[in-house]
Amino acid sequence: MNKKKALMNLLKVAVTVGILYLIFQRFDIGSDDIIKAFQHQPGWFAAAALMQAGAILFSILRWLVLLNGQGLRVPFGHAVRTFMVGRFLGTFTPTGVGLEAYKAWDIARYTGKAEASVSVVLIEKLIGTFFSLGLLVLITLPYFAAAIDNRALMIFGSFFGVLLVIALILLFQPGLFRLLLRFNFPGKGKIEKPLERIVAAFTVYNQRKGSLLGAVALGFGVYLFWFLTYYMNSLALGANLSLLEVLKVGPLTQIATMLPISIAGVGLREGAFMALLQALGTLAADAPKDVAASVMLTASMVYFVSISLNLIGAVIFLTRRTDYKAQMAQMKAER
């Protein structure tokens, strides 16, 4: 590990520990409050795991829809195994990049079409973040208008509005981005090839817009089940949150966890979740420490529920054969 990477990891640890320390200090949370929260109704954690499984299922279905749109026929069972192994590997990589990398690598080997496999992963990421999550952020942002400075709100809203417009163009008129390349501008050389690759990937779906729209719809399902995981955790821990409150703060909390400045989003998730609930007026600044502990753990347990399901991927990873010799021979024969 080089010095730069080691320093970045130390900074992430510092951010994670620092935010959690501030939360504990701010609400005077102690070990007794943690224990009390876990003793509330722990049976709801099973429901949280089911919600997380629902998010996984919708993610796999979204991926399959996009694969089919590229003409890549992958059996459902194979997609499930690949996805779960990718989730397991993603546990140890920043922002889950291991999941996307493994998906692209495995399907490239399985189908013999590396470029199409990588394109699908790229498109899925753009649809999931730029469109589905971006739209949810814009829908929920007005709920925080009273608590956020108007200028900051305008900047934040404009940023996600631009992302949404970009996503809409990519979905329905990707060729418009080629017009940009007719002009000379600073940094053109750096973005020309990646932009061409993105446009080419989306252009494949010009005659298969149903695949893109289906992927967008499934993307909303992914996030709904993620937010339901929070809600089930809140029932288990006695946080007294309504489903509507969780849905309001969910999108912005999800954005916070994507910032690569903490360990797996830990600390950022809790800090954003609690700050947003305070902005809504749901969590009082002087909330009892046992209530604050329950709310904090509602966010924390999303991570632990998620990685508990990753153990399935670990088992598959250790037992799966991935030489694909028979499959690759069949692919060659069909060409």
Give residue-wise pLDDT tens across range 261-305.
888 888 999 999 999 999 999 998 889 999 999 999 999 999 999
Please report the pLDDT score of residue 244 as a whole number.
97
Decide which of 180 and 39 is more confident.
Answer: 39
Please report the pLDDT score of residue 94 as a whole number.
62
Please report the pLDDT score of residue 42 as a whole number.
96
Domain boundaries, given as residue ranges, for the chain: 42-334
Q: Are 252 and 2 in contact (CB under 8 A)?
A: no
Mean pLDDT score, 71-98: 87
Lowest mean pLDDT among 2-6, 131-135, 246-250: 2-6
Give helix 76-90 / helix 289-319 axis angle, nearest 10°. 120
Output the pTM of the full model. 0.89
Structure tokens at 49: 């795991």
Q: Are 300 and 237 in contact (CB under 8 A)?
A: no
Judging by beta carbons within 10 Å of its beta carbon (0-12, 13-18, 19+), is residue 78 exposed, middle or buried? middle
pLDDT tens string 33-68: 999 999 999 999 999 999 999 999 999 999 999 999
Mean pLDDT score, 123-135: 86
Split at pLDDT 50, 70, 90, the class of 238 is very high
Lowest mean pLDDT among 121-130, 134-143, 260-269, 319-328: 319-328
Please report the pLDDT score of residue 176 as a whole number.
82
Split at pLDDT 50, 70, 90, the class of 332 is low
Residue 334 has pLDDT above 60, yes or no: no
Split at pLDDT 50, 70, 90, the class of 218 is very high
